[in-house]
Amino acid sequence: MFGKTLAKFFVLMATAQAACSVVPSSVTGSPAPLSTTFVVPTTSPTATPELEPIQFIPGEDPPTPAQGPLLPNVKGIRLGSSYSFSHATWLCGGDFDCARRMLEDIACGLHVDSLRLMAPWDWLQDDSSASLKTDFNTDWQLATAKRCGVANVTMAIGVKTPHSPEFKIPGWAKTLSVERFKEALINYSRRFVEHYANDGRITVWQVENEPLRSGSSFGGEYPFDVKDFYRQEVQIVRTADTLKRPIIGTDSGDVGSWGEIATFVDRVGATYYRKSCGDGKSYFDHMERNGSPELWAERAEALKPKFVSLIELQWEPWPCGGSSKDATPEENEKSMNPQLALDNLNFVIRAGFADIDLWGLEWCLLEKKRSRLQMWELTQEIFAQR
């Protein structure tokens, strides 16, 4: 089937037309071969449940262009996905039912081993005294994950959560003083964790997203010393969580240090990107900074006994001249297509990662809805190999 998928890809490159959707004003959104075992950290608090270490046997090297693309060996790998309700709603033009079906297709349709869900502050708290809107946002997502048999669920909380713009500040909090802002954010994180303090459907907490990195490309800056605040926020989560689940901190794969974020948390989640629009006009190949799979394996090995996962593997385009939702198929394929996706997956497998979450399956489902099937069909075939 994959040969047919790739054939479709080359045909569609020449024939597909762009399709656009309107975003309602009420919806906010974004406009090697090594035998390595990454183990669960011994320094983390007692957690329920814990991930068991996996002995990973890497597959073959990525094929040369003459060989053509090959499906990687994903047996023995926990393969999962991120999902953002707010981002999916934006992709669906404000259609909540469409966004909910996307999680169904990911969790149940692919039978993913893990999910990373988001709890964006601006979608959960209308004002400082309001109850958190968990029924509308996160309760149903956790129910879907359980019904679909997803055993490992990471919940990302904080003011900076995945998907651009990452800083998701409620309107009422934007006018607060720095100290009042910190109090409000801490109160939100504490209340959210307390709501799920005894809920075993969440297995890992992610506190903030790449907190050591900020700036215009992330949609804002922390208005305070982020390191001191992050240490405080992590401790608040630990105290509020009855089940004492591990906390993961994330950092960029190509420019992050990994070691620094590891000092705050129990686990480290790295990201891997290959191609993106750097200056709005031209594409940047991250391989210039990524280095080799062997280098990534050495970096992860150096953090033992901390557990290192690949929490964000590029599976969607980052096009120039607009968003992945509105760009032409030809433009999107410059930064994401079946061959690039396979290259990305092969790289992190060769580096020895045994926990891998794909990033961008909501976009793949939007493409499927538009009858551009190559990325979703490829994804289905990869998950079916487990």
pLDDT at 68 (0 to 100):
46
**214 or 182: which carries more pLDDT confidence?**
182
Q: How confident is the model at residue 377 (pLDDT cuts 50, 70, 90)?
A: very high
**282 or 99: which carries more pLDDT confidence?**
99
Q: How confident is the model at residue 2 (pLDDT cuts 50, 70, 90)?
A: very low
pLDDT tens-digit series, residues 163-174? 988 899 999 999
Please, what sign has the CA dihedral across residues 241, 87, 97, 116?
A: negative
Helix, strand, coil % over all residues of the chain, rounded to 5: 40, 15, 50
Query: For all residues of the chain together, what is the average pLDDT?
Result: 84
Q: How confident is the model at residue 255 (pLDDT cuts 50, 70, 90)?
A: confident
pLDDT at 257 (0 to 100):
81
How far, in Å, CA of 250 to CA of 243, rounded? 22
The strand pairing partners of 248, in sequence order, are: 206, 267
Q: What is the DSSP letter of 1?
A: -
Q: How confident is the model at residue 1 (pLDDT cuts 50, 70, 90)?
A: low
Q: Which helix (H) or strand (E) holds 345?
A: helix 338-350
In a domain, 23, yes or no: no
Least confident of 39-43, 119-123, 124-128, 373-377: 39-43
Highest-scoring range by mean pLDDT, 78-92, 243-257, 276-290: 78-92
pLDDT tens-digit series, residues 330-354? 999 999 999 999 999 999 999 999 9
In a domain, 25, yes or no: no
How far, in Å, CA of 296 to CA of 253, rounded? 8
Q: How confident is the model at residue 221 (pLDDT cuts 50, 70, 90)?
A: confident
| Confidence check: pLDDT of 117 > 80 | yes
pLDDT at 363 (0 to 100):
98
pLDDT at 38 (0 to 100):
33
pLDDT tens-digit series, residues 12-42? 433 333 333 333 333 333 333 323 333 333 3
Q: What is the arithmetic mean of pLDDT over 188-197?
A: 97
Q: How confident is the model at residue 51 (pLDDT cuts 50, 70, 90)?
A: very low
pLDDT tens-digit series, residues 316-331? 999 998 899 999 999 9
pTM: 0.82
pLDDT tens-digit series, residues 74-115? 999 999 999 999 999 999 999 999 999 999 999 999 999 999
In a domain, 369, yes or no: yes
| Confidence check: pLDDT of 285 > 90 | no
**71 or 16: which carries more pLDDT confidence?**
71
- Tell which residue, 237, 226, 234, 231, has the closest CA to residue 191: 237
Phi, psi of 350 (to 5 degrees): -60, -30
In a domain, 22, yes or no: no
> Domain range spanning residue 126?
2-14+32-384
In a domain, 21, yes or no: no
Q: Beta-strand (E) ranges in the chain?
A: 78-83, 114-118, 152-157, 204-207, 247-251, 267-272, 275-277, 283-285, 307-314, 355-359
In a domain, 236, yes or no: yes
pLDDT at 219 (0 to 100):
61
| Confidence check: pLDDT of 311 > 90 | yes
- The residue with tokens 């240490």 is 231
| Confidence check: pLDDT of 223 > 90 | no
In a domain, 259, yes or no: yes
Q: How confident is the model at residue 216 (pLDDT cuts 50, 70, 90)?
A: low
- Which pair of structure tokens corresponds to residue 42? 């011994």
Domain count, the chain: 1
pLDDT at 238 (0 to 100):
98
| Confidence check: pLDDT of 151 > 50 | yes
In a domain, 20, yes or no: no
- Which pair of structure tokens corresponds to residue 98? 């469409």
Q: What is the DSSP letter of 362?
A: H
CATH value at residue 94: 3.20.20.80
| Confidence check: pLDDT of 4 > 60 | no
Classified as helix, coil or strand, 51 is: coil
